Amino acid sequence: MTQKPQAKLLANYQPPSHQVEHIDLVFDLSPQHTRVTAKYNLIANNEQSYIELDGVDLKLITLKVDGQVHTDYTLLVDGIKINSVPQTFALEIETEIAPELNTSLEGLYLSDGAYCTQCEAEGFRKITYFFDRPDVLATYKVTVIGDKEFPFLLSNGNQLDAGELEEGRHFVTWEDPYKKPSYLFALVAGDFDKLEDKFVTKSGREVKLQIFVDKGNLSKAPHAMTSLQKSMKWDEERFNLEYDLDIYMIVAVDFFNMGAMENKGLNIFNSACVLANQETATDRDYHVIESIVGHEYFHNWTGNRVTCRDWFQLSLKEGLTVFRDQEFSSDLGSRALNRIDAVNAMRTHQFAEDAGPMAHPIRPEEVIEMNNFYTVTVYNKGAEVIRMMHTLLGEQGFQKGMQLYFERHDGQAVTCDDFVNAMADATQTDLNQFKLWYRQFGTPTLHVETYYDAEARTYQLDIKQTHATNDPISEPLHVPVAVELLDEQGQPIVLEGVQLKHGRVLELTEEAHRFVFHNVESEPTPVLLEDFSAPCLLEYRYSLAQLSHIAKYATSYYARWEAMQILFTQQIRTYVNAEAQNGNMFSELSSVLVSLFEHKPDDLAILAEYISVPNFDTLSGGYDVVPVDALCQAIKHLELQIAQLLEPYLIAFYTDTKDSGGLSAEDVAIRALRNKSLYYLALTQVDVSAWLCEQASSLNMTTKLGALSSALNAQHALSDAMMQEFDVQWNHDLLVMDKWFALQATSPTDKCIDVVLSLYSHPCFDKSNPNRVRALVGTFTRSNPQQFHRPDGKGYELLGDLIAELNELNPQNASRIITPLLSFKRFDENRQSKMRAQLERLAAISNLSDDLYEKIDRALN
Ligand code: 7MF
Ligand code: ZN
């Protein structure tokens, strides 16, 4: 390490030194010598005779101040200091960049021959010298000049002008009338197939919609188009928000570090998050694409029209937009399934992040590399915090708050506090204590005790909140706790004697509360923290009888699923602790499982969730030292027991249904439960070979993959042949091959690690493509705990080797895949020392990126 990177602090925020109203950009594209000319007027906000602009990896060609060549400047590591400038002046800077050599996929780069950009968070500084911070808002006029081999030259906003140039070149000029920060700038140049459609807004304006995909992929674009139209309609109906430009473009590219990017009027997407047809995409893919298209569209108001003052406020736009995309998916599809998804993401990933070295509040206060803070905490916990406000204020109050937020802040760069203040002021609600959710990290725990007094016919709930001991703030939070009380018949009891919001929500503001319900005829069964009404852990000694009562009778599917999860977790705990087998336990669980099949819910996809055992990462949160081997054994054992118990039901369901190949919610649900059935049946003595073969030859990808994953998991004799056949059939389609790489990486055999290593030389694999890396290595390290955590440390070594390689190639991607190594302190001594050794080895790399430095430093120190 040459120089220790310095953290930036929220507390040190300073407003920008200058304002820029408008910027003119000209790009003369060339793979290694792209010329960028930037012209803008600067107006000083203070009496300063110099300016400091951000800029990284730029070659300065000319610099002019008020039209005169200016030589009084100093180049800095990450910018330029221009001295002796007047209060107000015109700046013109010409720089040269090399998109072809840019493997970081940040700034301007080439993706399979097409030019594209990624500027969030701080990528614009790799394009030209500017105030690369979100609180400098300007209008942009952009001219793109390129070879005619690139028929499409795109940027933000509306097309102003276009024309021919000499030497086979042409240009297009774009103007974006809305002020935006630099991170929303975008440019694309390439040859694409284009799908075009339109949307008529509620005020009657016609918006042109265009989706650009690689040549030959047009048949995979319609789903994204429909998703976009649904998003535009939904935002008008639920949030009264209308689109504001005459054109909306989406471009799909193969090399992209993240899912997608909301650049004004010109979204750029990872092709994996756009392209879908029945043969290549799973039902899950269809769902994810719809929600991501929605997410990026919803940013147009929550992120673009109102943006962030500084990057510490990232959750202002991300938490809110995730909340909005979750609501979109829930309004269009199944609310319960979407809630289960969101809660699984919180428990599997966010709780783990909160318990590890990268724990931070949803509004971080200290950052070295901003790219490291696009986290499940900022996004998903951030969305839960927004959801709690929604729970406290109700839909009407929340919408009043949104309206006031836009009235106050349209066109501004603001803070999380501004958002909460709008919510509070619009509804005359005191949300000051609530704001602590933005400052405090760690997962709070709610400890609940209950007492029934038969004589007084009262039911008492005592709730105490406690906070992670390493959290320096640790004050009581404002927590909405939704409850339901079920009587002996499973009917909900009318709640009396206690103050409730919206008929079901208790509000905690103190460390401890006592709530006493009146007129309770018999001891009820409490459904606590219903719908995961706050992102907390719940500590309550549920009896088996209570859990099975909830699983059978709670009003919401969500609560029933939750009860099943707790039952599974308790069962697994007894296996892990090798506790004297409590015969009672599995028989109680058995009777619920059977009754779930005998009284199937209307939605069969929910039934598939009911019978899904929590995953390793969710379960491991319950242990101080993760018992890797015992936990993997326990999961396997429980799954086998479930399979044997439900065998007749699964066979009956499987043989009575077939995959229609359709896309309706019902078709999707049937596929989900059929795949779950096959997964379990493959573990039993039942001969599933014929079913596996039939499914594997299906033209529907969900069904096909269901066969492959069941066969692999059960180590079925057919699995090798099936995998080989899939490779032959699909090696022309890299997005489909990602599914195959991911399958290979989840194989439970000890050979898995060698297979993964050998796949580095598979013709479809490419370490410089983040999708490939995520599919193969990401899946191995996150979804194959038994093999990743091999006691010989080879799993850790594989990851360490790859990170060392990616450190230079693509620091962002390197930093994203290191996560499983960071929590080494939660493992046994042998594993801990081997994981630590990999971190130490990486820490010693001489040109370690800031991205990796920040995480490794936090983990080791
Ligand atoms: C849905 O947030 C939910 C989250 C940043 C890149 C997309 O729009 C985004 C971008 C990261 C991680 C997750 C998501 C995004 C990014 C994302 C996408 C869809 N502003 Br990094
Ligand atoms: Zn986003």
Give the ligand 1 atom nearest the CA of 325.
Answer: 1
Q: What is the mean pLDDT of residues 789-812?
A: 98
User: Which pLDDT belongs to residue 585?
Assistant: 74
User: Which pLDDT belongs to residue 474?
Assistant: 79
Place of tokens 């509004």: 363
Q: 301 with 262: CB under 8 angstroms?
A: no
Q: What is the mean pLDDT of residues 788-816?
A: 98
Which residue's alpha carbon is nearest to atom 17 within ligand 1? 259
Which residue's alpha carbon is nearest to atom 10 within ligand 1? 261
Name every protein residue with a CB atom under 6 angstroms from any ligand 1 atom: 120, 258-262, 292, 295-296, 299, 318, 322, 325, 374, 379
Give the ligand 1 atom nearest the CA of 318.
Answer: 2
For residues 390 and 533, state if they share a domain: yes
Residue of 288, 374, 815, 817 to mutate, ligand 1, most atoms within 8 A of C-beta: 374
Question: Dihedral, CA atoms, 495, 499, 504, 509, nearest 10 degrees?
Answer: -140
Spacing, Cα 235 to ligand 2 middle (Å): 16
Q: Which CATH number covers residue 321?
A: 2.60.40.1840
For residue range 287-324, what is the model confidence (pLDDT) as tens digits?
999 999 999 999 999 999 999 999 999 999 999 999 99
pLDDT at 174 over 50: yes
- When pLDDT is cut at 50, 70 and 90, the band that residue 2 belongs to is low
Q: What is the mean pLDDT of residues 10-17?
A: 98
Give the ligand 1 atom nearest the CA of 257.
Answer: 21
The answer to the question of residue 666 being in a domain is no
Q: What is the DSSP string of 507-570?
A: EE-SSEEEEEE----SPPEEEESGGG-SS-EEE----HHHHHHHHHH-SSHHHHHHHHHHHHHH
The answer to the question of residue 110 being in a domain is yes
pTM, rounded to two decimals? 0.99
**Cα distance between residue 253 and residue 662, in whole Å:** 28
Which residue's alpha carbon is nearest to atom 20 within ligand 1? 261
For residue range 54-63, what is the model confidence (pLDDT) as tens digits?
999 999 999 9
Among the bound ligands, the one closest to the CA of 294 = 1
Spacing, Cα 299 to ligand 2 middle (Å): 7
Among the bound ligands, the one closest to the CA of 374 = 1
Residues 6+ apart with CB under 8 A from 700: 278, 279, 659, 661, 671
Q: What is the DSSP string of 621-647?
A: TT-SS--HHHHHHHHHHHHHHHHHHHH
The answer to the question of residue 42 being in a domain is yes
Which residue's alpha carbon is nearest to atom 9 within ligand 1? 261
Which residue's alpha carbon is nearest to atom 7 within ligand 1? 260
Domain finish residue from 191, 213, 245: 191
Domain finish residue from 539, 566, 581: 539
Domain of residue 182 covers: 1-191
For residue range 733-742, what is the model confidence (pLDDT) as tens digits?
999 999 999 9
Residues 6+ apart with CB under 8 A from 792: none
Q: What is the DSSP string of 91-132?
A: EEEEEEE-GGG--S-SEEEEETTEEEEE-TTTTGGGTSSB--
Among the bound ligands, the one closest to the CA of 379 = 1
Q: Which CATH number covers residue 58?
A: 2.60.40.1730
Which residue's alpha carbon is nearest to atom 14 within ligand 1? 259
Spacing, Cα 189 to ligand 2 middle (Å): 24
Spacing, Cα 328 to ligand 1 middle (Å): 16
Give me the long-range contacts of 219-222 (CB less than 8 A, separation at least 24).
219/277, 220/274, 220/275, 220/276, 220/277, 220/280, 220/281, 221/193, 221/195, 221/252, 221/274, 221/275, 222/195
**Cα distance between residue 350 and residue 80, in whole Å:** 38
Spacing, Cα 633 to ligand 2 middle (Å): 38
Chain centroid offset of residue 810 CA: 20
* Catalytic (active site) residue 296: yes
Instruction: Work out the percent of the chain whose per-residue pLDDT is above 70.
Output: 99
Residue of 290, 293, 295 to mutate, ligand 1, most atoms within 8 A of C-beta: 295
For residue range 588-632, what is the model confidence (pLDDT) as tens digits?
999 999 999 999 999 999 999 999 999 999 999 999 999 999 999
Residue of 318, 341, 375, 817 to mutate, ligand 1, most atoms within 8 A of C-beta: 318
Residue of 104, 106, 180, 258 to mutate, ligand 1, most atoms within 8 A of C-beta: 258
The answer to the question of residue 776 being in a domain is no
Spacing, Cα 238 to ligand 1 middle (Å): 22
For residue range 359-374, what is the model confidence (pLDDT) as tens digits?
999 999 999 999 999 9
For residue range 216-271, what is the model confidence (pLDDT) as tens digits?
999 999 999 999 999 999 999 999 999 999 999 999 999 999 999 999 999 999 99
The answer to the question of residue 729 being in a domain is no
> Does residue 260 have a cis peptide bond before it, meaning omega lies within 30 degrees of 0?
no
SS3 655: helix
Among the bound ligands, the one closest to the CA of 259 = 1
For residues 9 and 150, state if they share a domain: yes
Residue of 379, 384, 819 to mutate, ligand 1, most atoms within 8 A of C-beta: 379
Of residues 46 and 241, the one with the higher pLDDT is: 241
Among the bound ligands, the one closest to the CA of 322 = 1
Domain finish residue from 147, 174, 191: 191
The answer to the question of residue 390 being in a domain is yes
Spacing, Cα 311 to ligand 1 middle (Å): 14
Spacing, Cα 134 to ligand 2 middle (Å): 15
For 34, the enclosing helix (H) or strand (E) is strand 34-44
Give the ligand 1 atom nearest the CA of 299.
Answer: 8
Q: Which of 106, 296, 318, 562 is catalytic?
A: 296
Among the bound ligands, the one closest to the CA of 287 = 1
The answer to the question of residue 685 being in a domain is no
Q: What is the mean pLDDT of residues 345-355?
A: 97
For residues 327 and 186, state if they share a domain: no
Residues 6+ apart with CB under 8 A from 268: 116, 117, 118, 186, 188, 250, 251, 253, 256, 260, 261
User: Which pLDDT belongs to residue 4?
Assistant: 86
The answer to the question of residue 168 being in a domain is yes
User: Which pLDDT belongs to residue 579?
Assistant: 77
pLDDT at 325 over 60: yes
Spacing, Cα 295 to ligand 1 middle (Å): 8
Q: What is the mean pLDDT of the chain?
A: 97
pLDDT at 1 over 60: no
Which residue's alpha carbon is nearest to atom 11 within ligand 1? 258
For residue range 664-685, what is the model confidence (pLDDT) as tens digits?
999 999 999 999 999 999 999 9
Give the ligand 1 atom nearest the CA of 379.
Answer: 4
For residue range 488-502, what is the model confidence (pLDDT) as tens digits?
999 999 999 999 999
Spacing, Cα 571 to ligand 2 middle (Å): 38
- When pLDDT is cut at 50, 70 and 90, the band that residue 143 belongs to is very high
Strand order in the sheet with 206-213: 193-200, 206-213, 247-253, 266-270, 260-261
pLDDT at 68 over 80: yes
Count: domains in the chain: 2
For the chain, give percent helix, strand, coil, nearest 5. Answer: 45, 20, 35
